[in-house]
A = this chain, B = another copy of it.
């Protein structure tokens, strides 16, 4: 079993990575301090893994577990759906010492985290991510929340789990599209801070797409180490942490404008990363060879390299204007700068470069 620590003083927590962890009840129970738990999962994951998760939690007889099953998909990542979690928790009289357990992908994890952060002003919380996206990115670091019709993840909290339990076997049931979506975040770590990981991906993408367990364990561990380092250095996103949003400002605009759930998060991030790379190239901050390699790796991963055909430059501009990185009216972007593995967060670029990129990627 691999263990990666997220170092946050008194809220430090471990990420466990191995095959078959879902059945290691003792490990899970070690992180449940009270006598009750609430598993939050979705309609897709429940038939696959809920029984095993429930059994692991309740096997010792000390812990009583309740369950909420949410509808599946980014379009259901709303306050209305979140209320069902709180309704259930109160109906079951779960107290402040209870533990909410997220069993599922990024949507389940983000919603469970915020549900836990706000229920009685904060209860315990464990992540059991079952998708590549959530295993390499969203389950680690404590960003939680729901979407608003006007912007993604606009309502939420920074709230850290007590542990993250990654059973890599759960990837066996993941649809191909979801698999590729998660890989876009692994590519991201390579681009912003880990050139060796990017080069490894160039050589091993086929093995990932074939779900080779060793390849996945390596990619997940390496991603979690990158994420843990960034989060430990800048938990509340004062600066460095924002670099994890490479491609996300463009990507969130795609998700918001196409309607949440039409494109998967990682698909939107992949197209967004292409746009950020294009802009970096126009600014002369990266060379054409790096831009070409990014394009090639995304194609190899079967990820989109352009936004959806109907999207306009104006739609990008309007949605990006409410991005969380906007500061006193100024849009800030994560752009690549220098050799592979380097990036900057900056609001200091000629507006023309952004306009040109939007024109190049949008037909209207």
Contact = CB atoms under 8 A, between A and B. Distances in A.
A143 B158 contact: no
A298 to B, nearest CB: 29
Contact of A97 (B36, B122, B327): B327
A157 to B, nearest CB: 6
B328 A151 contact: no
A117 to B, nearest CB: 7
- When all copies of this chain in the complex are counted, the total is 2
Interface in A78-115: 79, 83, 86-87, 90-91, 93, 95-97, 114
B157 A328 contact: no
Main secondary structure of the interface of A (DSSP, over half): mixed
Interface residues of A, number: 41
Contacts of A151: 90
A321 interface: yes
A59 interface: no
A238 to B, nearest CB: 11
Contacts of A117: 157
Contacts of A145: 118, 121
Pairs of residues from A and B, 10 with the lowest C-beta to C-beta distance, nearest first: A90-B150, A95-B326, A35-B328, A120-B324, A121-B156, A118-B155, A93-B322, A97-B327, A96-B324, A121-B158
Interface of A: 34-36, 79, 83, 86-87, 90-91, 93, 95-97, 114, 117-122, 143-145, 148, 150-151, 153-158, 236, 321-322, 324-329
